[in-house]
Amino acid sequence: MVSFNFFQSFYFIMTTISVVGYGSSIYSLQGKLMMGLIIIIIIVTIPEKATDLVTLLNSKSKFALA
Amino acid sequence: MCKFDKDPIWRMPATSSGPDYMENVYPKDIWLIDSYDKESNTTSYVLPIDNLSEHYFPSGDCSGEFHIYYYTLLIMSHTYFLTEFLLRALSAKEIKNFIGELDSMIEIFTNVPFFMLLAIFGKEDYYFQLFLAFDMMRLMLYDRYVAHIKTELTNGITSIIMYLFSLIMISSIVIQFIEN
């Protein structure tokens, strides 16, 4: 059985979130389905959070950052 | 490594040889086994399969000495969370709105099925163990704690960092469990 411990899984998710990939893959069908769901969640929510952050940063004067 | 679970569902028995090796080593009731068989019959990689279980999970590691405490603590903590949620729901101004919130959904999803699955399937069932992996969803309740940060910018940045951390941790644990 392919060993997939927590740190490998963590690294895999990090490379996926950062859209780097590095060619790593998961092997089971269930894992692939779950990964598809996670990617959809990432695609929807990460840009939203990034927009929130930019809006928040722009809403403050550079002299009033605290 | 697995001191909290004496016989984890993903652990293969430490059998290295024998005529009925295939029957002993693979738990037949796990649906991942098909994909394992498919992959192991290819030439894409070579693993010391005969010694795999002994190599990764030696008996000394899998002693399960905290086995009872782990599940006792799980039951106690989930009882506390459920009681707290019920009290907050009863004291809410409008229960319908309160239950419709994301936080309440997470509370319900992580607490109610816990007792149902534990009672119906037992603690060593695959689906119960998978459900425990989803317990990490409670990290998404970070809003309660971040709300105490009054500075708007710090609040926003902390919230985003916590969200990313939650997403990465939840995804990692669920994928790790499914792959094993």
- Kindly list the domain boundaries of chain B, sorted by start residue: 1-65, 67-179
Number of residue pairs across A and B with CB atoms under 8 Å? 87
**Closest CA in chain A for residue B164:** A46
User: What pLDDT does B4 receive?
Assistant: 67
Q: How many angstroms separate the CA of residue A62 from the nearest CA in chain B?
A: 12
A46 part of a folded domain: yes
Query: What is the span of the domain harbouring residue A35?
Result: 26-55
Residues on chain B touching A31 (C-beta within 8 angstroms): 175, 178-179
pLDDT in tens, B99-126: 888 888 988 988 888 888 888 888 777 7
A12/B175 CB distance under 8 A = yes
Q: What ipTM describes this predicted complex?
A: 0.79
To the question of pTM greater than 0.80 for the whole model, the response is no
A1 part of a folded domain: no
User: What pLDDT does B83 receive?
Assistant: 93
Q: Does A18 lie at the interface with B, CB-CB under 8 angstroms?
A: no
Query: What average pLDDT score do residues B64-92 get?
Result: 87
**Closest CA in chain A for residue B25:** A1
A12 part of a folded domain: no
A49 part of a folded domain: yes
Count of the separate structural domains present in chain A: 1
A8 part of a folded domain: no
Q: How many angstroms separate the CA of residue B129 from the nearest CA in chain A?
A: 15
- Residue B10: what residue type? W
Residues on chain A touching B172 (C-beta within 8 angstroms): 6, 9-10, 12-13
One-letter-per-residue 3-state SS of chain B = CCCCCCCCCCCCCCCCCCCCHHHHHCCCCCCCHHHHHHHHCCCCCCCCHHHHHHHHCCCCCCCCCCHHHHHHHHHHHHHHHHHHHHHHHHHCCCHHHHHHCHHHHHHHHHHHHHHHHHHHHCCCCHHHHHHHHHHHHHHHHHHHHHCCCCCHHHHHHHHHHHHHHHHHHHHHHHHHHHHC
A17/B168 CB distance under 8 A = yes
pLDDT at A22 over 70: yes
Please list, in sequence order, all residues whose beta carbon lies within 8 angstroms of the beta carbon of residue B85, skipping any fewer than 6 positions away.
B104, B107, B108, B111
A6, B168 contact by CB (below 8 A): no
pLDDT in tens, B128-176: 888 888 888 888 888 788 888 888 788 888 888 888 888 888 888 888 8
User: What pLDDT does B7 receive?
Assistant: 60
Q: Does A58 lie at the interface with B, CB-CB under 8 angstroms?
A: no
pLDDT at B23 over 70: no
A53/B152 CB distance under 8 A = no
Residues on chain B touching A27 (C-beta within 8 angstroms): 35-36, 39, 179
Q: Does A40 lie at the interface with B, CB-CB under 8 angstroms?
A: no
